[in-house]
Structure 1
Amino acid sequence: MKELSHEHRIKKGNQLDISVLSSLRLCLLGSVFLSGCSSLDYSRLDGGLNPSDTPVTVDAIEQNNQIKQLGAQEHLHILATYGGVYHDTGVERMVARIVGKLKSVSENPDQTYHITILDTSNINAFALPGGYIYITRGLLALANDSAEIAAVIAHEMAHITINHGILRQQKEAEFGLANQVATKILRDRPTGKDSMIHRKFSLAQFFRNQELQADEIGIKMITEAGYDAFASPRFLQTMEAYARFKHASDATVFRFDFLATHPATSQRIQLAIAQARKISASVFGAIDRTFFLKGINGMIFGNNAAKGYIRGNNFIHPELGIMFSVPADFIMDNFAATIIASGPNDLAIRFDSVLVQKETLPVQYMKSGWVSGLDITSIQPLVVNGLSGASARVENDKWQFDIVVFVIKDRAYRFLTAAPRNAKNFLAISQETTKSFRMLSAREKASFRPLRIHVIPVKSDETVPSLAERMQGTDKKIELFRIINGLTLTTVLSAGNWVKIISE
């Protein structure tokens, strides 16, 4: 696929998410927060944590510590990629207490951790060298108790403790050098290709072994911290169930970050169960569900107003005042700066917006060189729902692209529909989407609000179907209700149980 010429840049003006990015880090050393952070009191339900007036920043990291500098260099890129930091006092206190308990049993008590909650619905957690740990709002929403979040964070702490990030860099560098040598010496000989395949397999095996090692250390940590050892395999099963739920479509592209970087195979789950049984044969750890649910009550589920909302097959951005629809059999994903809609037969639609000079004409912008390989003769002006735009085509030997741009005031809204060269319904799908693009009325802007997690008690006459009926944002209400609450098909709810509901 031809790439847009600005895609490698991350600039405020080039993104759909135009909110200012800020950063929260919960920096723990022992049981005390450094650099003006509060101390933790585990006898209190909220951990005794108050937001710091002087949070630790990247600039405060020791300049002579190369490992920490490596993490610091990537930190701002991570924030830009995932749309910034999610600030919610209840969530921050809940995560802080979990991290504090894990820190107290860590194999490296002198390690400082910088915990960042990323403001994205993507489900992921990962670590960088220097003690940087990231956990997404989407992952927190999927969990059901403190023990499950402890399992995720302990896994990432293990990566840091045994320097997996540095080892991965070294192994990838070795792999890259070996490939260069093989290419130069062996050219296209079969032995050269076989050698490269073998090295790729070895690299994948190396990463897999790291994940299993981190699982083992993480399960040991959460057990020593007093949490349920079976939280790790339990949450892996929940994430797999959610992946299947999201993947229940003919769409060819599916994004589930955690399972992409932390492969949750059935073998891995079984190994985690065996490890939990071995460690906690006679110990029953806590799940701390009440504290966890209080922490995430009211937390945004899905996307916020700054990124826009996906409602069924519609994308609505109240702050920009625009909306459009994609075909019903497409799956939309909302990234920090781009909407990607993936459909059957390798069809995909990409949408973003960038700032432009005021009074720029759509045809003029189309000719400005922002996309390579454009057929200038294919540029045509158009008007959709009273909005001025322009369309154009790009083709190569394998792919075809239909490009449509609308310019409203100082912003260009760009649609790129891609399909294999032989796709027959390509233009019809592109036109169905772009013709739905329109401005929102003032009343419509005010009517859209983010979905949130609401924790409610079950009443005596309520059942899974009746509670699921209150869910919003999905047409598979019962299935999603069971997944986010960790319920099996045979689970019967009792009066007084606490459950999560997703609604405005």
Structure 2
Amino acid sequence: MGKQTNFYVLGILLLGSLFYSGCATNPVSGKKDFVLMSEAQEINLGKQAHQQVMKQYRPYNDPALQSYVEGLVDELGKKSHRANLVYHVTVLDSPQINAFALPGGYLYITRGIMAYMNSEAELAGVLGHELGHITARHGVRQQSAGTVAGILGAGVGILTGSGQAAQAANIGSTALIRGYGRSHELEADRLGAEYLANVGYDPQEMLNVVEILKDQEEFDKQLAKEEGREPRAYHGTFSTHPANDARLQEVVGAANNIKTAATREAGREKFLKYMDGAVLGTSEQDGVIRKNKFYHTDLNLFVEFPEGWKVDNLPDRLIAQPKTGDAQLQITVDDLNKKQTPKEYLNEQFKGQISNGQPVQTANFQGYTGYTNLTTKGGKVPSRVAAVFQGKRIYQVLIAGKDGNALNKYDAAGLTTIKSMRQLKNAERKLAKPKNIKLIRAKSGDTFASLAKRSDIATHAEEQLRLLNGMYPDGEPKAGQLIKIVQ
């Protein structure tokens, strides 16, 4: 009992010394914050994390847009609580709707979220929000709290002989780019609105940005209902509160008291001109889906999926499923590392548990397919699997139904998809180019329904045009107004 008490006293002393040495003045509040790193350490942490981020993303290849965004960040940064920092912003080549920040002055914004903005002020609102996370040292404060938890967890591990608590205590360190808690998000909103006002924008533009994401969520609820799935939740900027949140209205409204507020126009046309020609959806490097067909230049690959199926192009796989949602087809790609036939490869992967196997010959590729039972948490799932060889590449295909009846229902369509896999024809290479935003001047009588017919959008074209132009779920373009369509 006495030894445990001594450990307890030592723990209190340790925490006391940590608190004393780890307190620093917050640049925003002027109050003492509990942090365990200096500003120099914070900057170094940001540099290291930046390298990790750029292993996961590509910078978007549009020097003019990158320079434009950098200029806005520099302007906002000079009017922030940490004007001494050099801010580094990267436009990411990603269709994801996201923006985030790292300690020490590193910001990221995707072309995906920018496609749905309609003014410079909205862009500045997102950037200002992310600057707020940096200036208020949210990442550092979160990291410091996690470090203390890690220290205490390590102590528990020493006393109990178990490292599990220490391992769990460090999980929070992964949250740097997953977003922050509600209080930090609201503080970032307040700071973003303040920085907007500092450079002359109406701080209420912050609410327009929130509305962009909420419209996306409402549209996804519609899709989820049609597809028989749960709606997706957005986990990035502003995701923790609705646009009509009273607390959000309050913190944004406080920026109205700044004298310089609303002396600058929103910059709608200036911003939109940077969006003319911007990539929408996946890039050429990731492959392009047009209706039910997939084109990939670098892989020299064409695939045709069943008519009416929803196809998702994810970073590591293609996923297609019927509207009923009771079956799924997946295609992944890997290197061929051993000299094998498709049959040998497939049998090796599934330990010989392949039944009714048969060769598959496509226009350019050779493969092998058969049936197996995949083990999942829900039990055995009957599936068709296939290996399709393209030179030194292997395409792994899986067709699974929720039960045997579902697989039987869609098996023929899945096999047809496998047999459709081939090299691109010369005439198809232009179709492997990504979809782009095109600006037009609306004419009298134009509606989103009529403009949808001119856009290369496979499904829900009218709704998606409304989302792109900030007029979801209703409203129509006015004559002379710049409008985004898709080509």
Which category describes the TM-score, using the shorter chain as reference length? 0.7 to 0.9
Percent identical residues:
26
Q: CA deviation at 1:275?
A: 3.0
Q: CA deviation at 1:397?
A: 5.2
Q: CA deviation at 1:139?
A: 0.7
* Residue of structure 1 aligned with 2:333, choices 350, 353, 356: 353
- Alignment correspondent of 2:435: 451
Farther off after superposition, 172-181 or 113-122: 172-181
**TM-score (ref. length: structure 2):** 0.75
CA contact (8 A) 1:309 1:316 kept: yes
Corresponding letter in the other structure for 1:383: V
* Residue of structure 1 aligned with 2:189, choices 215, 224, 234: 215
Q: Note if 1:169 corresponds to 2:148.
A: no
CA contact (8 A) 2:347 2:353 kept: no
Corresponding letter in the other structure for 2:88: H
- Alignment correspondent of 1:307: 286
> In structure 1, what is the Cα distance between the partners aligned to 2:252 and 2:376?
53
RMSD: 3.6
Farther off after superposition, 405-414 or 96-105: 96-105
> In structure 1, what is the Cα distance between the partners aligned to 2:400 and 2:230?
13
> In structure 2, what is the Cα distance between the partners aligned to 1:487 and 1:273?
21
**TM-score (ref. length: structure 1):** 0.73
- Alignment correspondent of 1:378: 354
CA contact (8 A) 2:90 2:108 kept: yes
Change (3 A) 1:154 1:478: same
DSSP-derived class of the 2:285 partner: coil
Corresponding letter in the other structure for 1:389: G
Q: Note if 1:497 corresponds to 2:481.
A: yes
- Alignment correspondent of 2:4: none
> In structure 1, what is the Cα distance between the partners aligned to 2:254 and 2:354?
67
Change (3 A) 1:66 1:279: closer
Q: Note if 1:433 corresponds to 2:414.
A: yes
> In structure 1, what is the Cα distance between the partners aligned to 2:438 and 2:312?
23
CA contact (8 A) 1:384 1:435 kept: no
> In structure 1, what is the Cα distance between the partners aligned to 2:407 and 2:137?
48
Change (3 A) 1:205 1:113: closer
Indicate the structure whose relative CO is greater, using CA pairs within 8 Å and at least 6 residues apart.
Answer: 1
Q: Note if 1:230 corresponds to 2:204.
A: yes
Give runs of aligned pairs for residues 264-303 of structure 1, distance below 5 A. Answer: 264-266=240-242, 269-280=245-256, 283-284=261-262, 285-303=264-282
Structure 1 unaligned residues grouped into runs of 5+: 1-63
Q: Note if 1:363 corresponds to 2:343.
A: yes
* Residue of structure 2 aligned with 1:416, choices 388, 398, 419: 398
- Alignment correspondent of 2:219: 245
> In structure 2, what is the Cα distance between the partners aligned to 1:159 and 1:251?
37
- Alignment correspondent of 1:144: 118
> In structure 2, what is the Cα distance between the partners aligned to 1:80 and 1:424?
42
Q: Note if 1:472 corresponds to 2:449.
A: no
CA contact (8 A) 1:252 1:342 kept: no
CA contact (8 A) 1:122 1:136 kept: yes
Corresponding letter in the other structure for 2:433: R
> In structure 2, what is the Cα distance between the partners aligned to 1:254 and 1:70?
35
Farther off after superposition, 430-439 or 170-179: 170-179
Change (3 A) 1:436 1:349: closer
> In structure 2, what is the Cα distance between the partners aligned to 1:470 and 1:276?
39
CA contact (8 A) 2:201 2:265 kept: yes
CA contact (8 A) 1:80 1:336 kept: no
CA contact (8 A) 2:99 2:109 kept: yes
Q: CA deviation at 1:425?
A: 0.9
DSSP-derived class of the 1:471 partner: coil
Change (3 A) 1:483 1:384: same
Q: For 1:213-264, what per-residue CA distance to the aligned partner results, in whole angstroms no more than 9, with x for missing partners?
A: 11111111111111221222112112221233244132537666x5456425
- Alignment correspondent of 2:296: 317
Q: For 1:423-457, what per-residue CA distance to the aligned partner results, in whole angstroms no more than 9, with x for missing partners?
A: 64146546533531311322222344311111121
Q: For 1:163-186, what per-residue CA distance to the aligned partner results, in whole angstroms no more than 9, with x for missing partners?
A: 21223334456667889969x98x
Structure 2 unaligned residues grouped into runs of 5+: 1-38, 173-177
